Amino acid sequence: MYVLDTNVLIHDPNALLNFEEHDVIIPMTVLEELDSLKSGKQAVAADCRQAIRHIDKLLGDATPKEIEKGVPIVRGKADPLGTLSILMSTEGLADHALPNNLNDNKIINSLAALQSRHKSREIILVSKDINMRLKARGFGVEAQDYHNDQLLDDIDLLPQGYREFPNSFWETIAKVETLQREGITEHILKREGELAKLNINEFVIDQQGFIGKVTDLSDTQVVIRDLHQHDLMNEEVWGLVPRDIYQAMALNLLLDPDIHLVNLTGSAGSGKTILALAACIEMTVASKMYKRIIATRSTQGLDEDIGFLPGTEAEKMEPWLGAIVDNLEALHEDDENMTASVDYILSKVPLHFKSMNYIRGRSFQHSLIIIDESQNLTPHQIKTIITRAGNGSKVICLGNLAQIDTPYLSALSSGLTYMTERFKGFRHGGHIHLQGVPRSALAEYAEANL
């Protein structure tokens, strides 16, 4: 029996369908919490409403006795698998119970009472709250995290977007067929050994200065386009030149018209935001490939309401998107009048700051969508934003998996991790993990010693 906590249903409103043949139980306290959070325009309220609709649809016209026993969970046209039931609140065991002043305690007491009635069954609490799991275990109830959307067991297994070979890459190659056409050099290699691990749009680099990009894959061979390191390192975008090969690879993905999704991860100061902003301005003002730039990010917590800040939507979002403005100033710090340059760019560039609360249901055509601090989004939330990309749009996700501010997320369950792993075989997607480029001697010392 899997008993679901409220934060699991908020994290993934479809969680009810992901427990296969097992019995799923929802405590009455969880329904009460969903009811108290369902009102409003926040993303968390929309997730609560969706979870409530799922529960109602699965229970259908079942009688109270059938709900107590367990209603079969129907998934499309497949045969029912597992059951869904509602667990009534209880005062727990008279001689062994937690104080009922907290909802978490009520749920744990209900589970303890359920465990005493079903001693032959394994009862597991599923919660995204670490402290809730610790309390349950301390009380004698088994507890687990929600793992269904965790595609990795170790964050170190997350693709970096490139493969680094010691010495020369070509020392590992026995046979190669090289083609040249329209100024492009491509190498056709047999897909074996380390090459079998390559993904589409992944880079290959070595210590001898070779850099290539995987442009095609099949079961037996891999096609690598030869990129000239000198050209990549001297690519100037809106006055910005890459400071290392990792930034150069990121710019290559950002400027590629065939890449519709770019994920940039890395520590603070690695250049994620300034690279994305410079590329976006270049593609909207100079080349006019896109009509506008949409910048958004999750406000701290589960996307809290922005109504407490004065002004319009753009003015309310400005404090949250300060990194965008800071990097815009950095791009023009050498100008005679930086403030005038920034104001001029903001007047010329169709740069819109949008709250996540008001993105749901919209469709952005021919737009560049920058999702800043995307490590704080759940897989469900990031899917909501990406599906807003209309015809001719490009999505750029920026994040540092070491700085997650949302209480119920970890690096493994972050939407940024989920999406990077899920899209690693997408022909029109790419990912680069940027290495640290210290902003200053002070920042470098702080990173190493604090």
Whether 444 is covered by a domain: the verdict is yes
- Residue linked to tokens 């050994």: 193
Whether 363 is covered by a domain: the verdict is yes
Res 309: pLDDT: 55
What does the alpha-carbon distance between residue 218 and residue 176 come to, in Å, rounded to a whole number? Answer: 15
- 138 and 253 inside one domain: no
Whether 180 is covered by a domain: the verdict is no
Whether 104 is covered by a domain: the verdict is yes
- 113 and 247 inside one domain: no
User: Region 120-132: what's the mean pLDDT?
Assistant: 93
- pLDDT of residue 303 exceeding 70: no
- 397 and 277 inside one domain: yes
Sequence-separated (6 or more) residues with CB below 8 Å from residue 265: 272, 375, 398, 399, 400, 401, 416, 420, 431, 432, 433, 434
Q: How confident is the model at residue 437 (pLDDT cuts 50, 70, 90)?
A: low
Whether 84 is covered by a domain: the verdict is yes
Which of 145, 165, 195 delimits the end of a domain?
A: 145
Whether 197 is covered by a domain: the verdict is no
pTM of the full predicted structure?
0.80
- pLDDT of residue 86 exceeding 90: yes
The lowest-confidence range among 123-127, 235-239, 361-365, 391-395 is: 361-365
The lowest-confidence range among 26-35, 140-149, 197-206 is: 140-149
What is the domain extent for residue 326? 240-448
- 130 and 269 inside one domain: no
Total number of domains constituting the chain: 2
User: What CATH number is attached to the domain comprising 90?
Assistant: 3.40.50.1010
- pLDDT of residue 93 exceeding 60: no
Q: Give the sign of the dihedral formed by CA 269, CA 267, CA 430, CA 297.
A: negative
Helix ranges restricted to H, 84-243: 103-117, 130-138, 229-233
User: What CATH number is attached to the domain comprising 269?
Assistant: 3.40.50.300
Whether 189 is covered by a domain: the verdict is no
Whether 296 is covered by a domain: the verdict is yes
pLDDT tens-place string over residues 312-325: 655 655 665 566 77
* 66-80, 214-228, 334-348, range with greatest mean pLDDT: 214-228
Res 72: pLDDT: 94
